[in-house]
Structure 1
């Protein structure tokens, strides 16, 4: 991962060592190193899950920063090539002048048909033009060297990307295994699968299911209260808002939540301690996880491919609750991405709904959506 960060830093900062993508890569590398130390010291399943969660997130951040750096490098290279192509005529004339000057012998270049005065004037003109010609030569040389450097860095990024993708996949697999082995989380109640199945069968909407779930489980003691963090929570997954609260989709359908665009196989976590009330397939939302972070408050996450945890557990902050679906892109696909709208960049969507009492509220009242 340290090598990944170094490669990214060069890719992301061809003109400025303070580029945000390079800083993000270095921060991800530092986090991965810290997670590795934490993993080596993990004494139980809970510590191992925490360390592996940090590892997966560090890989995700590092790979995202590297993709950003590669995209910037590709755009910069295209810009330089377009500039050089547009100036091809000027470059040819400049090279011709330099070549002709270089082939003229010293004594002849000092002679002028108009005599000494003409020679003096020509010398003055040459003295004025030469620095400009040299500056143009230096600019072209720098641009050509930058194009060569960018191309070399992009070509050498393949191996680093391969290692990063493999490392992320290994960390996800280890995380899934560690969660299966975890038995030391407090239990607020024991799941009743028959009651849950009857509730699913008797409801036709997420609103009806959430209300029934509230009536069934929220009277249990031992819950958490995260209301002090209201309005400052980080998003549960690395992504960005695709559709806002109550915004209509292409079919004109509105939902009382937000939709987040994420990369394939992105890790989803609960940002605060919360009781796991439900996990599994639900209506048209795919796999759904519902947690209770505070009395009479529910967070609903829909659209996951894999879900983690056991109903009734009290999860700590940043506990993994699932993975998004899709297939991780290949190295070749990443290397050919030129902008953030590439289909594989954020092809998965997570539905996030927040409910207070029996009604949904704008998730922006709890989460920092921008």
Structure 2
């Protein structure tokens, strides 16, 4: 349903209420004084006229609250997005530092690995030298054993200095001479071998210890590098998650911003429509007041000329089931049916042929006859006892305000097309449409019980 249809429907009902209230107050003379009117009828006009505007104002308040909520959400979204961006920047900075630390750790590992390789090469050379010396010693083991045994014997039991024979002395001298010639060489060689063996043992122990230290350092560095890599992976995952969250936050913020823009545009359009509707409602109220004054003047003049003819002879309440339709046609929207304009139809809309004759369905007095904007030619018939019949959408009328009419008397004709420009029937028919509304004491009532049975069968198909 468009915004303008609601306003137009409300104003249409307000106008009919104003006009029929006025004629009901003034058409019956002393017997229909204004103080005997329904309490609701005097206030129905402004209330109905303002109904559409009040609806729009309420809708505006709801949309404004919604817009304020969206703007608050946008502020929160901006703050959250800034927080995520800061976290991403910090994580990226930490990631770069960690990468540099990892490079330094890798350099240290490589340096230690090179040192370990050099130490292993030195160890291999020393082991080879040790094996060569051990082989050399093994080859001279027998000679060295004899020499060492002889030295032990000489040192343990030296020969007597006097009680020896010459032969013994000669042997001893010769042995001493031989040992004296051999012993220094053996002693020097043994001393050198012992020093070499001691050096090899010392070097091997030092290299083994150095290898242990290197292996321990390499293990620690590998663990550190593993920790750094794991930390970088975790930070990278955190950056990726935050970037994903940032993207989602940006999408959410964009959607909120678009929704806020749509609401602002809608509120601007609604404000313009409310202003136009208020202006139109004011103009229609002024026109309705002028129409009521004109109708009052017409009744006053008519009562002075023919005071006895202002009260219909037929009791409208007793005419149930007897009234013909005012025009040959079909009802396409009956009283109380859903109406895209006002929610529920308060009258009957009849489709007719072009230029169809419109007749008064009952004896009465013309309370109003003339054009009224948006409704074509408007006729209101005073049927007495607070009953009025409203006919709208005529192309031409043949009666004047204050004129008595008989049941079935021609009072006008339809036009060539739909003259109801107020959206009452515009949305459903392009041909002539006659709008009929029965009112009792200023309130719309169902006209169905008054139609003759033949017309009811015609209406129901």
* TM-score using structure 2 length: 0.32
Going by fraction, where is helix more abundant, 1 or 2? 2
Higher relative CO (Cα under 8 Å, sequence separation at least 6) belongs to: 2
> Could you state the TM-score of these two structures normalised by the residue count of structure 1?
0.37
Greater radius of gyration (CA): 2
